[in-house]
Structure 1
Amino acid sequence: MKRGWLKDGRMPGKPTNPHKLRSHLRELAYLQSRELVTPCRLLLVLIVSICLVLLIAYSVDYKEYIIDDTDEVNMTKRPYVQDHQCLKQTREEMLSHYGYSPSFQKVEKRSSLSLEEFWDLYDAKWPVIVQDIVPDWEAYKTWSKEFFLKNYRHHRIMLKAVEGVLEEGVAFVRSIEEFLSLLDQCGDMRHWSYIEDEMFLLQRPELRSHIGNNYLLDENFFNLFPPQIRPWDSMLLWGTKYSRSTLHMDPYNWTAVSAVIWGRKRWKLFPPGQDTYLYISPKQRCGFPLDCRKYNSKVDSFDVDYMWYPKFQKAEYIEVEQNSGEVLVIPSGWFHQAFNEEETLSISTQLMNRNNYLVILEEIIKGKNLNRKQLPPHFNTLLPPDQVKLFMSLIPKKILKQGKEITDFVLESVNMSSTQDLDNSALEEA
């Protein structure tokens, strides 16, 4: 006896008419078929959804990121320390992969360097000079002394002058015209001038537009920083012969990028791990909108007094010449010093990407801008740009406010100088 049927063969409460009975049976079969179709449809929808998710995942740039969520790189538990020996070994393996011989005694000059090869062989691992970026820039074609004298004669600029040793240099503001008048007066290792201005290009969009594309900077996580604390990214450097920078490592330990418009620089690049030989000045601050430690050496590597700095003789470095139209990329962790072999105009900027972002975030923590305990447990499982976005969202509002105040102060000072420039120009024309 089937369940739900009466003993006499009738359905409960239903007539025994065979035509109606067959009709009820067909209706029951139809309902059962609908119940069977529903899970099939759900399964089909699920399969299609998974395919779409995979398609999207493989179509975005994030597919190239390698997520290392081991404790060794977990910033939520301990300070991140870049393993330069491991990076050196990785570079050796990648050189073999690309069919190159190991090269650890020189800086290579490359053209037609792909972004992938840059990431694999050089980025965060080894310095490199790229020769085919700057020649396409309008700045390379038009920025001459005559160009600046004609268009910016009275515009004021930040200048450093040295009369004696490097550490006795004095910073002051002068007009472009006054700086150009100094060019013929500077002529030896102890007598030179150097424009080092963070804001000149930023405040002149027409000049910024002359700086063309640099594909090495296409992925730059500094663009994810709030505007109030984003580092200024176009430093104008114009030096007389013999002018030079300090021996230093860049703020936040970022990757340094130097582009020579015209002239010639000689660099000394110090591989990581030699701090004890470099006499780093303690307790220095960078003074940026997002404050950080400053790593400057007391030593002038181009004019060394070994009586004062005897350990410096043990320091190892690589020397390289950077010519007009070339871009030099210096990885995180490398101390460096530039020397202008002749009058030289260049631009410097910085890079934060998938290969060095943890170094920079760690420096921000060292600068006491964020407490490590604020980082959520899942932080190291996120993709690199998402880690940076989350990190920035945790920066205290007080720090953001201070950063804005610093930026506003600098901009106000620049605007005051610009107003004075206009007044001086009007007086001269009168």
Structure 2
Amino acid sequence: MELQNMERSKDVWPVLDEFWDIYDGKWPVIITDVVDKWPAINWTKRFFQQNYADEKIVVKAVVNRKPAALAVDMDTFISELDTSGPNGWTYLEDELFIVTRPELKKDIGPNVYAEENFFNLFPDEVRPWDCLMLWGSQFSRSSLHMDPYNWNATNAVLYGQKSWMLFPPGQDELLYIYPNRKCHFPLDCVRYDSPIDAFVPDSTKYPHFDKAQYLEVTVTAGEMLIIPTGWYHQAFNEEETLAISSQIMNRNNYLAVLEEIIKGGNISRKKLPAYFNTLLPPDQVRNNNLALLEEIIKEVKLFLSLLHKKILKKGKEVTESVLKDMHQKKVLKI
């Protein structure tokens, strides 16, 4: 069942508190006053061919709807972008290409809606990779999933257009979520993936999916979609589309993120101070309520201090392994 239409921001919000109170961590919204100011809005295929033709990237290739992930050079990927069809496409999904190239990272400008981000407090070894590069041919799509660590997600379209189906929390059974999957990120977490392609669902295999509630929206170049904690979603590229996604841990979702870190087996719940089990997220932390915000930051820092050194060591090894596999053009797990 399709829900009411989503909203687009109109210029700049009157005050940031309106965003915190109405949307952040609660309801998806499209922001229209951020991405068009970034230097990255001018990225083109020619730009990447001239500067990064031989650089390795992680690509998902789908042939007859069967996916495989591999590392290829940028020029090879770009040459395949015009060969897609309904049953086969290519999709660059690279967590580290931008992160490891400061000259690209600086082209992603400020975003006032993501300035408060407690992921910046994480040790480098286990900080979630930021600035995921998403470059898909026509017909390419993501899986139906909820993001790792149950964070708030941003997805900024640089060119092209991207259609979305967004599912409010509490519908796992209707979405047939795979049980007992892990994400294998530097800081391990539970994966929440569905086998369903929401854009062409198989009602015979998944008869209860028809009962799921959802929003459907198209995001165009220069716009940013913010997806709240707990929402499942799937993206479909109506045409060749380049986008960048990032993640946010803030005042409204920090407890949900910490819970996912515990579920991933990184910290024993028994080691947490007793009051962690009774914490409730504040209804709102106004910009001028610095004392309450500082308390939240202290709680997050205390939680992170409990990460064992072997967890940090493993996180560093995961990143190094991914970079090594890319350099050697190995087939990667998906």
Structure-2-length-normalised TM-score: 0.90
Query: Residue 73 of structure 2 corresponds to which residue in structure 1?
Result: 175
Query: Residue 384 of structure 1 corresponds to which residue in structure 2?
Result: 296
Whichever structure has more helix as a proportion of its residues is 1
What is the CA–CA distance in structure 1 between the aligned matches of 2:251 and 2:327, rounded to whole Å? 36
2:18 corresponds to 1:120: no
2:326 corresponds to 1:397: no
* Structure 2 runs not aligned, ≥5 long: 281-291, 330-334
What is the CA–CA distance in structure 2 between the aligned matches of 1:173 and 1:378, rounded to whole Å? 46
Query: 1:378: Cα distance to partner?
Result: 4.4
Query: Residue 59 of structure 1 corresponds to which residue in structure 2?
Result: none
Query: Residue 59 of structure 2 corresponds to which residue in structure 1?
Result: 159
Query: 1:370: Cα distance to partner?
Result: 0.8
Q: Secondary structure at the match of 2:69?
A: strand
In the alignment, residue 158 of structure 1 is paired with which amino acid?
A: V
Q: Alignment partner for residue 45 of structure 2, among 140, 145, 149?
A: 145
Q: Secondary structure at the match of 1:402?
A: helix
Query: Residue 195 of structure 1 corresponds to which residue in structure 2?
Result: 92
Q: Secondary structure at the match of 2:91?
A: strand
Q: Secondary structure at the match of 2:157?
A: strand
Whichever structure has more strand as a proportion of its residues is 2
Query: 1:203: Cα distance to partner?
Result: 1.3
Q: Secondary structure at the match of 2:210?
A: helix
In the alignment, residue 130 of structure 1 is paired with which amino acid?
A: I
Q: Secondary structure at the match of 1:169?
A: strand
2:18 corresponds to 1:106: no
Q: Secondary structure at the match of 1:333?
A: coil
Query: Residue 423 of structure 1 corresponds to which residue in structure 2?
Result: none
Query: 1:176: Cα distance to partner?
Result: 1.4
**Alpha-carbon RMSD:** 1.5
In the TM superposition, what are the counterparts of 1:125-136 in structure 2 within 5 Å? Answer: 125-136=26-37
Query: 1:351: Cα distance to partner?
Result: 0.4
Query: Residue 83 of structure 2 corresponds to which residue in structure 1?
Result: 185
In the alignment, residue 148 of structure 1 is paired with which amino acid?
A: F
In the alignment, residue 400 of structure 1 is paired with which amino acid?
A: L
2:115 corresponds to 1:215: no
Q: Secondary structure at the match of 2:83?
A: coil
Q: Secondary structure at the match of 2:252?
A: coil
In the TM superposition, what are the counterparts of 1:240-389 in structure 2 within 5 Å? Answer: 240-379=137-276, 380=279, 383-389=295-301
**Deviation string for 1:169-217 (max 9, x for gaps)?**
111111111111112211x221111000001111111011111001111
What is the CA–CA distance in structure 2 between the aligned matches of 1:179 and 1:411, rounded to whole Å? 18
Which stretch of the first structure deviates more once superposed, 213-222 or 404-413?
404-413
What is the CA–CA distance in structure 2 between the aligned matches of 1:158 and 1:405, rounded to whole Å? 18
In the TM superposition, what are the counterparts of 1:28-43 in structure 2 within 5 Å? Answer: none
Q: Secondary structure at the match of 2:96?
A: coil
Query: 1:340: Cα distance to partner?
Result: 0.4
How many pairs were matched up?
310
Query: 1:377: Cα distance to partner?
Result: 3.0
What is the CA–CA distance in structure 2 between the aligned matches of 1:232 and 1:394, rounded to whole Å? 21
Does the aligned pair in 1 maintain the 2:54–2:73 contact within 8 Å?
yes
Q: Secondary structure at the match of 1:273?
A: coil
What is the CA–CA distance in structure 2 between the aligned matches of 1:410 and 1:169, rounded to whole Å? 19
Percent identity between matched residues is: 54
What is the CA–CA distance in structure 1 between the aligned matches of 2:107 and 2:327, rounded to whole Å? 22
What is the CA–CA distance in structure 2 between the aligned matches of 1:234 and 1:307, rounded to whole Å? 37
Query: 1:134: Cα distance to partner?
Result: 0.6
Query: 1:156: Cα distance to partner?
Result: 1.5
**Deviation string for 1:17-54 (max 9, x for gaps)?**
xxxxxxxxxxxxxxxxxxxxxxxxxxxxxxxxxxxxxx
Q: Secondary structure at the match of 1:300?
A: coil
Q: Secondary structure at the match of 1:178?
A: helix
Query: 1:410: Cα distance to partner?
Result: 2.5
Query: 1:414: Cα distance to partner?
Result: 4.6
Does the aligned pair in 1 maintain the 2:71–2:325 contact within 8 Å?
no
Q: Secondary structure at the match of 1:302?
A: coil
What is the CA–CA distance in structure 2 between the aligned matches of 1:290 and 1:139, rounded to whole Å? 29
**Deviation string for 1:210-255 (max 9, x for gaps)?**
1100111110000111111110011100000110000000001111
Query: Residue 235 of structure 1 corresponds to which residue in structure 2?
Result: 132
What is the CA–CA distance in structure 1 between the aligned matches of 2:173 and 2:156, rounded to whole Å? 30
